[in-house]
Structure 1
């Protein structure tokens, strides 16, 4: 293992490239700096995992990618499942998602979803917001089969009511 001084100097020398990589991943300066800070902390915590003779640059950039993925998943998981993603509702078309293109289509879909009993609308909204079936089942304290069934029925209802928008 490298000495702390050499390890830290390698990290300092890589900061500029790490910031570029972070910016490429997130697209905003503030978020890139936040990601860079998180990566620096993680690398310093895990410096005992780095061994002499391996590619330091490759290792820290891989750590960055892992931290980015974990941050993205965490933000996605904590998104409110009662609100549409990015202000846009999506409609279901043969099991896939697409953007609702008209205002009247948006209003109809919103009306249909909110008109469903909570036992169907809440799991459906959570799924559209990015939760996985297992996460929905945990949060609602339901068996996974029940969650899948309710989401399936909500999709079928939406497809039937919104058939004109296909």
Structure 2
């Protein structure tokens, strides 16, 4: 009840927990705390189900992704001279990235997960991670003027 706050959901969670425990009983080590093991299974099951539900209910509008490639005055926040320079430099640095690096980086920046990016771009997840890492590294180099202590 502490996790779900609903009696029916709590019953379902207990049933799912016990089913998983029975299926994985060989992984339980004799002499350890059974209650803690079951609670860990229950908590992880709850978290996984919660993540599935929230992911299913949250739709990412892909048009939001494309606005970053055609950034114009409508999308720039004007906070004064310094921020104008910073935003201009950041946009220039991002525009200076190769499309192979810019596309996954921008998708990750607006909230896509690595797996979602890999599926949309039809490339391996390792390639996505590598391209985002390289994009960050190149952006860090291009924007080193703004690094603390410089």
With structure 1 as the length reference, what TM-score do the two structures score? 0.46
2:88 matched to 1:104?
no
Q: Measure the CA separation in 1 of the matches of 2:145 and 2:57.
A: 35
Alignment coverage as a number of residue pairs? 91
Q: Structure 1 or 2: larger strand share?
A: 1
Q: Measure the CA separation in 2 of the matches of 1:142 and 1:110.
A: 25
Query: In structure 1, what is the equivalent of residue 58 of structure 2?
Result: 73
Query: In structure 2, what is the equivalent of residue 131 of structure 1?
Result: 112
Q: CA RMSD in A?
A: 3.2
| Equivalent residue for 1:157, pick from 119, 138, 141 | 138
Structure 1 residue matching 2:66: 3-state secondary structure: coil
Q: Measure the CA separation in 2 of the matches of 1:163 and 1:142.
A: 30
| Equivalent residue for 1:118, pick from 99, 102, 112 | 99
Q: Measure the CA separation in 2 of the matches of 1:146 and 1:158.
A: 18
Change (3 A) 1:156 1:70: closer
What per-residue deviation string (whole Å, max 9, x for no partner) do you get for residues 109-128 of structure 1? 11111111110000000000
What displacement does 1:77 show? 5.3
What displacement does 1:106 show? 0.8
Structure 1 portions without partners, runs of 5+: 1-49, 52-64, 90-100
With structure 2 as the length reference, what TM-score do the two structures score? 0.50
Q: Measure the CA separation in 2 of the matches of 1:114 and 1:162.
A: 13
What displacement does 1:69 show? 3.9
Structure 2 portions without partners, runs of 5+: 1-6, 9-49, 69-73
